Structure 1
Amino acid sequence: MMLTPHVRTVAAALRSYRDAQAALLSEPSSPLRRRQLDDAAYTLCVLTGQHDVADAAMRAERLMAASSAFQHG
């Protein structure tokens, strides 16, 4: 059984990942930006229990959508 992280934690991790992606695009040769993206991707993968960051992002979005539907349903 996998524990489900709090939706705010998932949202923050997804936001950090997307911000790090954007930062790396603006500074593609920056080792700092690459490290930030790698760290954000790792965190997102761990939180969602996924090995691939694209899968982790999709899972995060599904968790957030399910939480929103539950709160508004």
Structure 2
Amino acid sequence: MLMPHVRTVAAALHAYRSAWTGLLRDPASPHSYRRLDDAAYTLCVLMGQRNAADAAAKAERFLARAEPAADGSVREKTGVRQAVHRVLPSAVSGTRKGRDAVAD
């Protein structure tokens, strides 16, 4: 199954939570409702769910499985990098020899 990028899920979840906060701050605003509706729709599509509460819960579980990267962002824990490193250690480490060896 295809899954969205971790940063995309984090951004969509943040937008959804921010929209809820905005709606709670100004419940009479039609803009707040529209913003929440848009954020909920985006989150549902990304996570493959039919309602926003399930999509938010799935996004939280998805992000909980993510690991922080050195640059402060997050990436999904898949084990692929470790498997590739065992097969092609120089290609994963980023040495020139490794990249050239993979291309040959």
Structure possessing the higher relative contact order (Cα contacts under 8 Å, 6 or more residues apart):
1
- Larger Rg over CA atoms: 2
Distance 2:63 2:40 in 1: 17
User: RMSD in angstroms over aligned alpha carbons?
Assistant: 1.5
Question: For residue 70 of structure 1, what is the aligned residue in structure 2?
Answer: 77
| TM superposition score normalised by structure 1 | 0.90
Q: Which consecutive residues of structure 1, in runs of 5 or more, have no partner in the other structure?
A: none
Q: Which consecutive residues of structure 2, in runs of 5 or more, have no partner in the other structure?
A: 68-75, 79-104
Distance 1:22 1:67 in 2: 25
Which is helix-richer, 1 or 2?
1
Matching of residues 53-64 of structure 1 within 5 Å:
53-64=52-63
Distance 2:31 2:51 in 1: 21
Quote how far apart the aligned CAs of 1:59 are.
0.5
Distance 2:45 2:77 in 1: 24
- Stretches of 4+ aligned residues off by more than 6 angstroms: none
| TM superposition score normalised by structure 2 | 0.64
Distance 2:52 2:2 in 1: 19
Question: For residue 47 of structure 1, what is the aligned residue in structure 2?
Answer: 46
User: Which residue identity lines up with residue 61 of structure 1 in the other structure?
Assistant: E
Quote how far apart the aligned CAs of 1:38 are.
0.2
Q: Determine what percentage of the aligned residue pairs are the same residue.
A: 60
User: Which residue identity lines up with residue 45 of structure 2 in the other structure?
Assistant: V
